[in-house]
Amino acid sequence: MVLCQLIYSSVATEIMPKSKLYKILVQARSANALRDVTGLLVFVDSVFLQILEGEREVVTALMKKIETDPRHTGVKIISDSDVSARTFAAWSMAYVSPSAKELATWAGLRNTTTVEATLGMLQSEPGRVPAVLSSLLTAPQQE
């Protein structure tokens, strides 16, 4: 079995009140638990950042489905790698909602203010990704 960790960002196509976000989370959590997929969803300033972990074929199939979901658009893969262990092993889909500034700080970017800028930096400098992941791991989770 090949374990992989895929990270992508996207932009919500509609206003995302908590009720809509929770609908995604509740459904994702039960579906992911069945498929042994773990990960974390970040939502900040209309931008999603999601980390999906699991068997490569399972994650690839899930990503294909997620990509066509009309609730978001502009899916950009930030990283996609084989890993020896999961970062978010305990969560079928954790949810963290930091500020844009917090996210930037976790990426080691002091003067970056928008989520888009931070994600652009993560994409061009993947070396910054592990620091963000470990900050997300210890960040307070929303229900």
Ligand X SMILES: Cc1cc2nc3c(=O)[nH]c(=O)nc-3n(C[C@H](O)[C@H](O)[C@H](O)COP(=O)(O)O)c2cc1C
Q: Which is nearer to ligand X, 48 or 88 (CB)?
A: 48
Instruction: State the nearest-atom distance from the C-beta of 93 to ligand X, in Å.
Output: 5
CA distance 119 to 124: 9
Q: Which is nearer to ligand X, 65 or 105 (CB)?
A: 65
Instruction: State the nearest-atom distance from the C-beta of 95 to ligand X, in Å.
Output: 10
User: Sheet containing 94-96: which strands, arranged edge to edge?
Assistant: 72-82, 3-12, 47-55, 38-44, 94-96
Tokens of 137: 């791991």
List residues binding ligand X (CB under 6 A).
Answer: 24, 28, 31-32, 41, 48, 50, 62, 65-66, 69, 71-72, 93
CA 143-17-33 angle, to 5 degrees, is: 40
Instruction: State the nearest-atom distance from the C-beta of 85 to ligand X, in Å.
Output: 19
Q: Which is nearer to ligand X, 28 or 132 (CB)?
A: 28
Number of C-alpha atoms within 13 angstroms, CB side, residue 8? Answer: 18
Instruction: State the nearest-atom distance from the C-beta of 68 to ligand X, in Å.
Output: 7
Q: Which is nearer to ligand X, 57 or 69 (CB)?
A: 69
Burial of 122 (0-12, 13-18, 19+ CB in 10 A): buried
